[in-house]
Amino acid sequence: MKLSEIWSLSLAVAKRFSEKRGSNLAAAIAFRAFLGLFACLVLSFALAGYLNASGRGVGEWIIGNLGLSGEAANSVYIAVEQAQTSRATTTIFGLLGLVWTGTGLSMAIAYAWNSAWGIPGGGLRGRASGLLWMLGSGASILVAVATTSWIASHHSLPIIAVIIGVIADLSLVMLTASLLPARHIPIRAMLPAVIVTSLGLTAARVAGATVLPRIASDSSAIYGTIGVFFALLIWMLVIGYVLVSAAMVEVVLWERNHGTVDIRVPVPRPHPHLRRRAAARQSKIDKTA
């Protein structure tokens, strides 16, 4: 693809992003992901409660790896101690919350994709597809994390871990593009958006592993726990922008290759008073012309 074609495609994607209010769609994805984070935290603290009961210093390990201090560090200590006394209840509520927020996140991604295509979607089918997507994405992430940890523990080549991470991102994005949206297109038409999303998620993951801990550490020292969550929310918003942009790329490329059609969309009938005002305004414009 020539440079002029890439520039033209970028302008078309930016225009479609603005027309479809992509910022709002990305914010909805970030909000759902942020809610899912609390369910993950509940499960994490339940696991920390089990480990802490066995005599391991889980609270110190979490604080040391995240570089937390001040109010944020105290919050972690308190959460681990409380989770130790209510491990079973915390686990149940964490699992239920993870299922609900995870399927909600999948529906937000599906809604953004369907909005880019201008088609309806959602309902029970969307929630069921979201459950399958959550299970598949969770398995993909666990395999990638376990493989990367094994490579790091055996001091293998770092490039292998990078390749495994990219493959995991590709499989996760392909699962998302093929399962969640309501449109039906060949796999080869999904590939450009899948590649764009994979590159964006890889960059976000690298930034999350390098920049995010530093931001969280600085924010926790200045603003406490709120600063940590604010840094995480910005990171999730970036991921939302990547996903929405990928959907716009897919739609724009499909329209360039297959064209568009005009359809009639029903809208509510305006109030008679508003119709009279519009007619009077049009009549004034005609007289002026």
The mean pLDDT value for 149-175 works out to 70
Q: Give the pLDDT of residue 173.
A: 83
Question: Where are the chain's structural domains?
Answer: 18-258
Cα angle 239, 244, 250 (rounded to 5 degrees) comes to 130
Cα–Cα dist 219/66, whole Å: 12
- Closest alpha carbon to 196 in 154, 243, 127, 164: 243
Give phi and psi for 232, each to the nearest 5. Answer: -65, -40
The mean pLDDT value for 228-251 works out to 84
More confident residue, 129 or 28: 28
171-229: pLDDT as tens digits: 888 888 888 888 888 888 888 888 888 888 777 766 666 666 666 566 555 555 566 67
Q: Give the pLDDT of residue 55.
A: 47
Cα–Cα dist 234/254, whole Å: 31
The mean pLDDT value for 136-143 works out to 74
Pick from 34-38, 72-76, 279-283 the range whose average pLDDT is largest.
Answer: 34-38
Q: Give the pLDDT of residue 24.
A: 92
More confident residue, 66 or 130: 130
Q: Give the pLDDT of residue 156.
A: 57
Range with lowest mean pLDDT among 17-31, 79-93, 148-162: 148-162
More confident residue, 280 or 218: 280
Measured between alpha carbons, how far apart are the two ends of the chain, in Å?
A: 47
38-71: pLDDT as tens digits: 777 777 767 766 665 554 555 565 656 555 566 6
| 0.75 surpassed by pTM | no
List Cα–Cα distances, 210 to 12, 193, 215, 216, in angstroms: 33, 26, 9, 11
Contact assessment for residue 245 and residue 198, using Cβ atoms and an 8 Å cutoff: no
The mean pLDDT value for 232-238 works out to 82
Place of tokens 């909000």: 31
